[in-house]
């Protein structure tokens, strides 16, 4: 039995909060809800959530005030604290890009020479420019970066982009992709103490089960027995599909698992191979 708890830092308000808490809940870790709390101990797992601004999470994790934290890779790269990325979490995907006014001819990074770039990511942008031997001014602003060119504050911006609609509605075009980012679980520089490594291992095991389930679907279909081999090669599943005879002679029901990413492609192949009555069902947890 552990008396210790793993302290995990989660964004207090913002884009990461809901998905971070949902991941923990899907991993079977429950909390008493309450939005204004600074700390929330789990009621059924030796873990405590500490709610912080995302910018502060790398420092708190470095200092050991939190054992682990959930932040964007962009924040980890910007803050440059002693953080170890432990696991990518598959949400909050975005990219940090440079954008300039639409209609401007851009012939490469040399366009940026001598220009002013507004950004909330000065460290990452400075490094990007240094590697390309470009001299440009960096104007650090903390929010609404996309309006900077329009009000004459900067020639270009470097900001996070997901759908691209913010750039679009501010008359900007994306010209350089600096980095891709998603939410990541980070740990501090020192090895965890008092049994928290065991708790972290259990948490990571559960996160894997949740994320594999999210990325896969359970699939059931009917097929003529002559098509079983071909269909098995299309959807081999975790070990191999389950095959059960149908009451109708010469036909079987085949059950397997299919990855979300090539799902539609597989469905087309299955139909071509003679599959009928295809059912696709979400999986709640998946343990290999
Ligand atoms: O208050 P606190 O400091 O905790 O929050 P914050 O305002 O710094 O962060 P928040 O909640 O906006 O974002 C937290 C994290 O979410 C970021 O660090 C990224 O890792 C991730 N993330 C993913 C994003 C986006 N996608 C995103 N699209 N963060 C911000 N944006 C913004 C972007 O800055 C721009 O204003 O959304 C706009 C662009 O979106 P599109 O869809 O129009 O392209
Ligand atoms: Zn922030």
Tens digit of each residue's pLDDT (9 = 90 or more) over 260-279: 888 899 999 999 999 999 99
Bridge pairing between strands 6-11 and 47-52:
parallel
Bridge pairing between strands 156-161 and 251-259:
unpaired
Average pLDDT of the residues in 199-211:
96
CB of 16 shorter than 6 A to ligand 1: yes
160 Cα–ligand 1 center, Å = 6
191 has pLDDT over 90: no
Q: What is the 3-state secondary structure (H, E, C) of the chain?
A: CCCCCEEEEEECCCCCHHHHHHHHHHCCCCECCCCCCCEEEECCCCEEEEEECHHHHHHHHHHCCCCEEEEEHHHHHHHCCCCEEEEECCCCCEEEEEEEECCCCCCCHHHHCCCEEEECCHHHHHHHHHHCCCCCEEEECCCCHHHCCCCCCCCEEEEEECCCHHHHHCCEEEEEEEEEECEEEEECCCCCCCCHHHHHHHHHHHHHHHHHHHHEEEEEEEEEHHHHHHHHHHCCCCCCCEEEECCCCCEEEEEEEEEHHHHHHHHHHHHHHCCEEEEEEECCCCCC
* Percentage of the chain lying above the pLDDT 90 cut: 92
CB of 61 shorter than 6 A to ligand 1: no
137 Cα–ligand 2 center, Å = 22
Task: Name the residue at shortest CA distance from atom 39 of ligand 1.
Answer: 161
- The rounded distance, in Å, linking the Cα atoms of 222 and 241 is 12
CB of 78 shorter than 6 A to ligand 1: no
pLDDT confidence bin for 288, thresholds 50/70/90: confident
CB of 56 shorter than 6 A to ligand 1: no
Tens digit of each residue's pLDDT (9 = 90 or more) over 12-71: 999 999 999 999 999 999 988 666 689 999 999 999 999 999 999 999 999 999 999 999
CB of 216 shorter than 6 A to ligand 1: no
* Percentage of the chain lying above the pLDDT 70 cut: 98
92 has pLDDT over 70: yes
232 Cα–ligand 1 center, Å = 42
Residue of 160, 164, 167 to test ligand 1 pocket, by largest number of atoms within 8 Å of CB: 160
Residues 6+ apart with CB under 8 A from 271: 278
More confident residue, 70 or 190: 70
Average predicted confidence (pLDDT) for the chain: 95
209 has pLDDT over 90: yes
The reported pLDDT for the residue numbered 35 is: 63
Tens digit of each residue's pLDDT (9 = 90 or more) over 105-148: 999 999 999 999 999 999 999 999 999 999 999 999 999 999 99
271 Cα–ligand 1 center, Å = 41
2 has pLDDT over 50: no
281 Cα–ligand 2 center, Å = 37
Q: Closest-lying ligand to the alpha carbon of 74?
A: 1
Task: Name the residue at shortest CA distance from atom 9 of ligand 1.
Answer: 14
21 Cα–ligand 1 center, Å = 17
CB of 161 shorter than 6 A to ligand 1: yes
Residue of 12, 19, 51, 54 to test ligand 1 pocket, by largest number of atoms within 8 Å of CB: 54
Query: What is the atom index within ligand 1 of the atom nearest the CA of 146?
Result: 36
The reported pLDDT for the residue numbered 194 is: 77
The reported pLDDT for the residue numbered 69 is: 98
Task: Name the residue at shortest CA distance from atom 2 of ligand 1.
Answer: 53
Q: 190-194, 206-210, 270-274: which range is least confident on average?
A: 190-194
Task: Round to the nearest angstrom and report the end-to-end CA distance of the chain.
Answer: 26
The reported pLDDT for the residue numbered 34 is: 64
């Amino acid at each position: 039995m552990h008396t210790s708890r793993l302290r995990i830092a989660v964004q207090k308000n913002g884009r990461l909060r809901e998905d971070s808490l949902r991941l923990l809940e899907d991993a079977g870790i429950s909390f008493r809800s309450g939005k204004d709390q600074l700390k929330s101990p789990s009621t059924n797992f030796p873990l405590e959530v500490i709610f912080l601004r995302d910018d502060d999470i790398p420092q708190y994790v470095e200092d050991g005030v939190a054992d682990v934290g959930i932040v964007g890779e962009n924040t980890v790269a910007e803050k440059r604290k002693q953080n170890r990325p432990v696991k990518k979490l598959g949400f909050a995907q975005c990219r940090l890009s440079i954008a300039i006014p639409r209609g401007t001819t851009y012939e490469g990074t040399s366009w940026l020479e001598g220009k002013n770039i507004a950004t909330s990511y000065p460290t990452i942008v400075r490094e990007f420019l240094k590697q390309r031997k470009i001299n440009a001014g960096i104007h650090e602003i903390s929010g609404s970066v996309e309006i900077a060119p329009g009000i004459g504050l900067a020639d270009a911006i470097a900001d996070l982009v997901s759908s691209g609609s913010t750039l679009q509605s501010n008359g900007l075009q994306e010209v350089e992709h600096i980095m891709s980012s998603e939410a990541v679980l980070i740990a501090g520089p020192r090895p965890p103490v008092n049994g928290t490594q065991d708790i972290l291992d259990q948490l990571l095991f559960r996160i894997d089960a949740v994320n594999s389930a999210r990325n896969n679907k359970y699939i059931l279909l009917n097929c003529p027995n002559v098509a079983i081999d071909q269909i098995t090669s299309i959807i081999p599943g975790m070990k191999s599909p389950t095959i059960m005879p149908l009451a109708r002679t010469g036909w079987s029901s085949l059950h397997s698992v299919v990855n979300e990413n090539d799902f539609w492609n597989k469905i087309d192949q299955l139909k071509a191979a003679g599959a009928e009555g295809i059912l696709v069902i979400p999986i709640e947890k998946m343990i290999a």
